Amino acid sequence: MRYTKCFLIVAVWLAAGLFAFTGFAGAEDKWTNVKSGIDQEADRAAKDAELTRDLINKDRKTLMGELSVLKKQIETEQAALDSLKGEFDELSKQEVDLKIELEKEHREVADVEGSVRGALKDAASMVRDNPITAQNPERSRMVNTMIDSTKFPGMAGIEKVVELYFEELSSGGKIVRYDGEFIGKDGKVTAGEIIRAGRFTSYYRLPDGTVDFLKPDASGEKLLAVAGEAPGAAKKVISAYFDKKDTILPVDPSGGAVFAQMTKKTNWGELFEQGGILMWPILIVAGIAILLMIERFVVLGSTTSNTDKIMGKLNALAKTSNWKKCLEICECNRRVPTCRMLTSALKHIGHTQEVLENTLQEAILREMPRLERFLPTLSVLAAIAPLLGLLGTVTGMINTFKVITVVGTGDPRMMSGGISEALLTTQFGLAVAIPIMMIHHLLERRVDKITGDMEEKGTAFAVTLLKTGAVTMTEEEA
């Protein structure tokens, strides 16, 4: 309808223009014609509009149908999209779970690989440190090849390692005798008869009958003769076993280390040097103690502790009041402490009993410092020696911990110096202190015996003097 109105307006405008152009002459006829034309155009326009309207309605129905179909498609696609989103979320969760599981499996594989690598290293150490490998060198090469490889050994490698361990168990319980070669003590390859006792010890016998111990070299693929000389008793047992006269063999579970130490001779100078600087003070203490002990042994050993014979003579002379002869006997035995004590008593003949007893006590006290001379010093030296050894122990352990701080605990040989210093100084300190303490006790017992003899003889002589009337009692005593 809107198009029709527009068309009429345009027609009227054209007619007005035409009318203005032609004038007013014959305007009525022209207007009639124009009106007729306009009506015709209006009818045509109405028909065209109706046709257009029908086409529009038809297109609208078509478009509405298509829109409905599209809406249904959109709903279907939306439902499919929602379903795919759900599947995507589920797959995302599965992906996370699978990643976690994969990580776990990676860790498990890494743990298994680490365990296998560790077992390979243990196997390498095992085959390197026993004489079975010297008899079967391919064992060491097989293990070293797997260790050097960057690839995981796999089941085949694991089976080989397991077989190696089972072979080790089987061979470790056997004693094998065979002819083979080894590196002799002179560094040359030597042929001889070899006996391998399990995985611990090997022995050799040369054609001339010489027997000794063998140990694996650094690679484990060769046997070396242990340096030094084994004890004669051990050689005798080994020879008897080679000759099948005996069934006993000396076995070293350390793989030859003990036998190597047994055949190694260490002199005192090396031990003293290993002990460190504190060995010198302990040695000085030992030297001083030895000098003092010698002096005490000489002095106390020459001192008579049994004066029964002398006292018998003195008592007999005292009964006859022969004091001059008593003094002569005591002067002749001046080296005897009891005689020196009695000399003091004889010089106080005629005094009271109290004076005599005080004189005897004073004489004993005067003799004690001579008898106990250097004994307190020996006691102090016996206490100082183990303390110096303990100081060496502390110093050695400090050095050991310094080494551990720098290089760690991977190589025990790096720590052996400090530990050796600690143990040797303690051992040396105790070795010095114990004899000093024992001898100090013996010397003290000797002094006690001499002192006891002096007290006994002094008391007995005082009683004899009292009986003979050589001394008098005081009024209070009487």
In whole angstroms, give the CA distance from residue 393 to residue 276.
Answer: 10
> 3-class SS at 263?
helix
Residue 310 Cα to chain centre, angstroms: 70
Identify the CA nearest to 348 among candidates 463, 441, 471, 443.
471
**Neighbouring C-alpha atoms within 13 Å toward the C-beta of 260:** 15
**Neighbouring C-alpha atoms within 13 Å toward the C-beta of 231:** 8
Per-residue pLDDT of the chain (478 residues; tens, 9 = 90+): 554 555 555 555 655 555 554 544 455 566 677 778 787 888 888 888 888 888 888 888 888 888 888 889 998 888 888 888 888 988 988 899 899 988 888 888 777 777 777 777 777 777 777 777 777 777 777 777 777 777 767 777 777 777 777 877 777 778 888 888 888 877 788 888 888 887 777 888 898 888 888 877 777 778 888 776 677 777 888 888 888 888 887 776 665 556 556 555 556 666 677 777 888 999 999 999 999 999 988 888 877 766 778 888 887 887 777 888 888 888 888 778 888 888 877 777 777 778 878 888 888 888 888 888 889 999 999 999 999 988 888 887 877 777 667 655 555 555 555 566 677 888 889 999 999 999 999 999 988 888 888 888 888 877 777 777 766 665 444 4
Q: Please state the length of the chain.
A: 478
In whole angstroms, give the CA distance from residue 49 to residue 47.
Answer: 5
Residue 43 Cα to chain centre, angstroms: 118
218 — phi, psi (to 5°)?
A: -60, -35
**Can you give the pTM of this predicted structure?**
0.49
Q: Give the gyration radius of the chain's Cα atoms.
A: 62
Residue spans per domain, the chain: 2-110, 130-142+151-263, 279-468
Say if strands 201-205 and 189-197 run parallel, antiparallel, or are unpaired.
Answer: antiparallel
Alpha helix segments (H runs only) across 129-249: 131-135, 138-148, 154-172, 232-242
* H or E stretch at 69: helix 27-128
Question: And the tokens for 87?
Answer: 């599947």
> Which residues touch 392 (CB under 8 Å, ≥6 apart)?
275, 276, 278, 279, 282, 421, 422, 424, 425, 426, 428, 429
Interior/surface letters 391-402, b for 16+ CB within 10 angstroms, e for the rest: bbbebbeebbee
322 class by beta-carbon count within 10 Å (0-12 exposed, 13-18 middle, 19+ buried)? middle
